[in-house]
């Protein structure tokens, strides 16, 4: 059960707004982009970040490299909800599709904004 003090703290948190620097698709402008032209961050929900290649190890290596770079940028682990492997038999398309289903708040940079705001707040 929540005490009155906890509710007041919750009300303070809810009343605060956090400014995020987002692009037109709702991603943080500083979010590291997947490096390869076949890879991309898709739409919501759960922001699939897709890595496509004819060689599965190459797609997985790029996914791991992007994940490391993004976690370094975020200064905490990215909330990956699922990893999905699919195939594309269309002529000329990369065969393997590796998708990391990521928390959209992480990709928007919300944890960075929260920490930045907390650093500016005077100690209570």
For the stretch 4-20, pLDDT in tens is 444 444 445 455 677 88
The Cα–Cα gap between 94 and 90 comes to 8
- Read off the pTM: 0.70
Q: How many domains does the chain have?
A: 1
Choose the weakest-confidence range: 7-11, 22-26, 63-67, 109-113.
7-11
Range of the domain at 75: 4-120
For the stretch 41-93, pLDDT in tens is 987 678 899 999 999 999 999 999 999 999 999 999 999 999 999 999 999 99
Per the CB < 8 A criterion, the answer to whether 18 and 110 are in contact is yes
pLDDT at 10: 43
């Amino acid at each position: 059960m929540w005490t009155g003090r906890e509710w007041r703290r919750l009300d303070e948190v809810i009343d605060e707004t956090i400014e995020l620097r987002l692009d037109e698709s709702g991603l943080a402008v500083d979010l590291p982009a997947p490096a390869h032209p076949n890879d991309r961050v898709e739409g919501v929900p759960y922001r699939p970040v897709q890595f496509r290649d004819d060689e599965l190890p190459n797609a997985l290596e790029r996914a791991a490299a992007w994940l490391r770079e993004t976690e370094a940028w975020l200064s905490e682990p990215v909330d990956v909800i699922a990893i999905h492997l699919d195939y594309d038999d269309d002529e000329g398309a990369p065969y393997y599709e590796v998708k990391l289903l990521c928390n959209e708040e992480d990709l928007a940079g919300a944890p960075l904004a929260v920490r930045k705001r907390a650093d500016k707040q005077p100690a209570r």
